[in-house]
Chain A
Amino acid sequence: MSDKPLAPAIEGWHTMEVKPHLIGTQCKGCGTYFFPKNQAYCRNPACDSTDFREVELSRSGHIWSYTNACYKPPEPFVAAEPFEPYAIAAVQLEKEQMVVLGQVIEGVSCEQLKVGMPVELVLEPLHETDDDIKMTWKWKPVAP
């Protein structure tokens, strides 16, 4: 990796700390969480609120399911050459009662994953541009 500055791959979707959080919103009317952020209208059919607060989502959860990508995805994905397969996890967040997708950290394969396994959120490079290294959230297994 180069010494280019780090930048979020998608601006405003997560914090850039060592122990990062996804940034979502919460409806002030009913408490429903949204990720990605929703600040326009609550999607709970019993709530017509248009008031939201920005919130950091739980940075740990349990694996709902997992898979991997054996083939290079099409654009806008930016693939390294040669392409290295990576694992993907769908993670259940307890407090938010929702499932969030993300890649699993480099070096972890499907054989090392299991439904129900605890994971935490970290940042890793997604790809590099001329100016910076684009960082994204990934799930990392933690010892139970």
Chain B
Amino acid sequence: MSNEIAILGAGMHPWGKWGHNFVEYGVAAAREALKDAGVPWQDVKFVSGGATVRCGYPGYVAGATFAQALGWQGAEVNTSYAACASGSQALAAARNKILAGACDVALVVGADTTPKGFLAPAKGYRPEDPDWVRFYLGITNPTYFALYARRRMDVYGDTLDDFAAVKVKNSRIGSKNPRARYRKCFSAEDVAASAMVADPLRLMDICATSDGGAALIVSSVEYAERIGKGDAPRVAAISTTTPTFASSVVEMPDIATDSAAAAGVEAHAFRSTLPLKAYEEAGIGPEDIDLAEVYDLSTALELDWIEDLQLAPRGEAAALLRAGDTAIGGKIPVNVSGGLACFGEAVPAQALAQVCELTWQLRGEAGDRQVAGARVGITANQGLFGHGSSVIVKR
């Protein structure tokens, strides 16, 4: 159990399109987490920030930016950038510091302000940049998620109704989350009536980009016990593994996969290898999981993740969904926060927001969204250039 750290506090700034400086969201999330933990700011000795690359220099040095905003008090800082896994890498840095005995309490925080419209690449003729190439050839972000979704339909028999059912499920539970950006309950008819973006995905199958912030106060188990919080949820595992060559699924922003033609090389699917280290590190298996928060950039991707986390055999996530087993009250509720469907993406905060939700769930404080008797939860997310993370929280 020596690899565990305690989660003393969780906090979030409500997600939306507020248009304020990202630092405001991070500070609000951090103050909520500090209050939740009952830990004075001056006792935090390490500030681990998830970087944002859209908000200028303060975003590149997010750890220091948040430390300054909360009031310099001498804490050491770290900033992690790992695309959608930034929050998990920031959490991993805090865990390392704590487990090395170099600090008792750390703040982990990420926040973002997102621009309106498409995220376009830098200008010019730049064929050496895969992101420039794919936009030039007409391949946008939804293309990749649509390719994965269509493959599910042709290979496993998933239907448009299944994808819509994911949105309906997540919007229903997300409507009960005061921190969510979208709190309207949508019907399958609403999804079907939304515009087709990248066949088979419609506008309502794809998540938006949002402003938001999330923060955690984490500590050594000894510190938690000392302040009478020995029963706080624990971070039992963090996986931030990269893919194994040859990566077999074409990933944004690439135009092609690795080649598995060389002798001794096998094709590997990154998403399904990512949670393996988390399960191993926590010493548990998929059968022990009570709930999951996964990166539903599209409705169909939620189904992929359910299989990648081994919560259903390959190709059978839609059956689980149809049986109601991924909804609250089902066998393995998925995205009871409402997921990205209700939050939208705020890159440096996203992986931390997932852990916030698991923290509240495991403490039995999730109100109308509470999964009865939740003891163990897992997260999953993935971003550009082989970044991904899976975190296991248990009580």
A: which residues have CB within 8 A of B?
9-11, 13, 27, 30-36, 43-47, 64-71, 73-77, 86, 88, 90, 95-103, 110, 114-116, 126, 136
Among B92-100, B196-204, B317-325, the stretch that binds chain A is B196-204
C-alpha spacing A103/B147, complex, angstroms: 13
Q: What's the Cα separation between A54 and B259 when bound, in Å?
A: 15
Residues of B within 8 A of A (CB): 117-118, 120-121, 123, 125, 127, 130, 132-140, 142-143, 146-151, 154-155, 195-201, 245-246, 248-250, 255-265, 267
A115/B155 contact (C-beta < 8 A), A67-B147, A69-B143 known: yes
Known: A110-B199, A126-B137. A66 touches B147 (CB 8 A): yes
Query: Inside 8 A of A36's CB, which chain B residues have their CB?
Result: 127, 130, 133, 255-256
- With both beta carbons as reference points, the residue of chain A lying nearest to B154 in the complex is identified as A115
Interface SS of B by simple majority: loop
B138 to chain A, nearest CB (A): 5
B183 nearest CB across to chain A (Å): 26
Q: Chain B: which residue is nearest A89 at the CB level? A: B147
Residues of A within 8 A of B264 (CB): 46
* Bound Cα distance from A47 to B262, whole angstroms: 10
Question: Which residue in A27, A66, A103, A116 is a CB contact (below 8 Å) of B138?
Answer: A103
Tell me whether A10 and B256 are in contact (CB under 8 A): no
Closest Cβ of chain B to A63, distance in Å, is 9
A31 touches B262 (CB 8 A): yes
A70 with B198: CB separation less than 8 A: yes
Residue of B149, B154, B263 touching A114 (CB-CB under 8 A): B154
Give the Cβ gap from B302 to chain A, nearest Cβ, in Å: 17
- Which 5 pairs of residues, A with B, have the shortest CB-CB distance? A67-B146, A115-B154, A33-B259, A65-B151, A97-B260
Of chain A, the residue at the smallest CB distance from B132 is A76
B147 contacts A65, CB within 8 Å?
yes
Docked Cα-Cα span, A100 to B123, in Å, equals 24
Is the beta-carbon distance between A115 and B123 smaller than 8 angstroms? no
What chain A residues lie within 8 Å of B249 (beta carbons)?
99
For A68, list chain B residues within 8 Å (CB): 146, 198-199
Q: Are B263 and A115 in contact (CB under 8 A)?
A: no
Residues of chain B within 8 A of A13, CB atoms compared? 127
On chain B, the residues within 8 Å of A95 by CB distance are: 261
